Each structure stands twice: as C-alpha cells, then as structure tokens.
C-alpha cells in the first residue's frame, strides 16, 4: 500500500492554495495540480509498505507521541523548487520551527528503529505542494515574483497516516490512522 505521513492543513490554507493555483493556470503554467482536498504537509513518504507494518507504525507513533505538545506552524509565502533553470514544484512555504523539527526527528527516529524506509534526503524542508510542473512560460520568474499570500497559522495536535491510490485522474488519499498528541489513535476502518 502506497503510504505517507502528513500534517493536515486548515481550510484557509486550502482556499489560498486554490486561488494561487488558479492564478498560475491563468499565467499559462501547466502542472499536475494538487486538488484542495489532497493538500497537506508531508512529513514522510513511505512508498509501498504492507498493511501490518502501517498498523504497527501507528501504534509505535501513538506511544512515542503521547503527550507531545500541540503547536502551530506558519505558512508564509509562495515558493518553488527548480531544476536547472525551470521550476519543478510550486509550493507554499512553511516556516521551520523548533517543535515542528522535533516532531519530525522523533518520528524519524521511531521509523529508523522499525527499519521502515522512507524518502530521507537528510534535510527536512516543510512545505505544502501545489503542483509538479510540466510546462512553464518563458518569463516564468517574472510572472511568479508578485505572488503574495497572507501569513496563515496552522494548529497541529495530531499526525495522519494516509494511503495514496494512483488513478488516471490523480491520486486518491484516504486517511488510515490519526495519532493524537493528547492520546488516542483513530482508525479509519
């Protein structure tokens, strides 16, 4: 089962994301755009992993994160990752903070103990992906430099484990487990 661990975002961030994506489309960018119901902040992409291991992971994270403090992170601006001279991914930047980094490291440590492999590039760059680019207008840098978003605060009191089913019309995400910091593990049976 194709799986990832994420933080959910607010309706405000989803609304602003839709507005930014709409603006980018009008500018002529073509991409695999993320639908608003699929927007999130990915902590770990686990790839294909068996169901039993996902269940065990949820239980281990439940124990490890019990009592972890609720916190919030700020979504601050529009950004992009580039490859050579072209944008590859458009996203909303998430301001790194100590508690978010600690959460990431706690989970990373637990997954390493369990020998679960995950996409580990070594440095965690929190962001909300808007789309993976297929085509960019020639003057793309000039076009995107004025995209401005309001600073938004996203409260966090749980992590969510999702399955991702690829379809011709885009991925379908389904939450499997919600690990709450204040205790509690919800299962989506």
Res 19 pLDDT > 80: yes
Confidence at 66, pLDDT banded by 50, 70, 90: very high
- Tens of pLDDT, residues 86-145: 999 999 999 999 999 999 999 999 999 999 888 766 678 999 999 999 999 999 999 999
The phi and psi torsions of 4 (rounded to 5 degrees) equal -150, 160
Res 189 pLDDT > 90: no
- Averaged over 47-64, what is the pLDDT? 94
Please tell me the predicted confidence (pLDDT) of residue 85: 86
DSSP classification of residue 36: G
List the single range of 7-16, 62-71, 115-124 with lowest mean pLDDT.
Answer: 115-124
List the single range of 14-28, 68-82, 114-128 with lowest mean pLDDT.
Answer: 114-128
Structural domain boundaries, residue 20: 2-187
Strand partners, 126: none
- Averaged over 147-170, what is the pLDDT? 93
Residue of 6, 9, 40, 177 with catalytic role: 40
- Averaged over 73-87, what is the pLDDT? 93
- Pairwise CA distance, residues 59 & 185, whole Å: 8
- Pairwise CA distance, residues 29 & 138, whole Å: 10
85: annotated active-site residue: no
Please tell me the predicted confidence (pLDDT) of residue 141: 93
Domain count, the chain: 1
- Pairwise CA distance, residues 162 & 172, whole Å: 10
Residue of 14, 87, 111, 127 with catalytic role: 127
Q: Residue 100: which CATH number?
A: 3.90.1140.10
Is 164:54 a contact under the CB 8 Å cutoff?
A: no
């Amino acid at each position: 089962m194709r799986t990832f661990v994420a933080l959910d975002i607010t309706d405000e961030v989803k609304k602003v994301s839709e507005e930014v994506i709409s603006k980018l489309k009008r500018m002529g960018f073509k991409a695999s755009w993320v639908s608003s119901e699929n927007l999130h902040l990915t902590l770990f992409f686990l790839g294909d992993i068996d169901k039993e291991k996902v269940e065990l992971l949820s239980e281990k994270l439940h124990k490890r994160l019990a009592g972890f403090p609720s916190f919030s992170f700020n979504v601050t601006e529009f950004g992009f990752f580039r490859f050579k001279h072209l944008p590859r991914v458009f996203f909303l930047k998430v301001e790194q903070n100590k508690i978010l980094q600690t959460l990431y490291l706690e989970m990373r440590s637990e997954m390493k103990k369990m020998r679960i492999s995950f996409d580990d590039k070594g440095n965690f760059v929190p962001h909300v992906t808007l789309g993976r680019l297929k085509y960019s207008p020639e003057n793309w840098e000039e076009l995107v430099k004025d995209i401005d978003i309001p600073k938004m605060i996203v409260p966090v009191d749980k992590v969510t484990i999702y399955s991702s089913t690829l379809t011709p019309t885009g991925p379908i995400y389904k939450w499997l487990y919600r690990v709450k910091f204040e205790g509690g593990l919800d299962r989506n049976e």
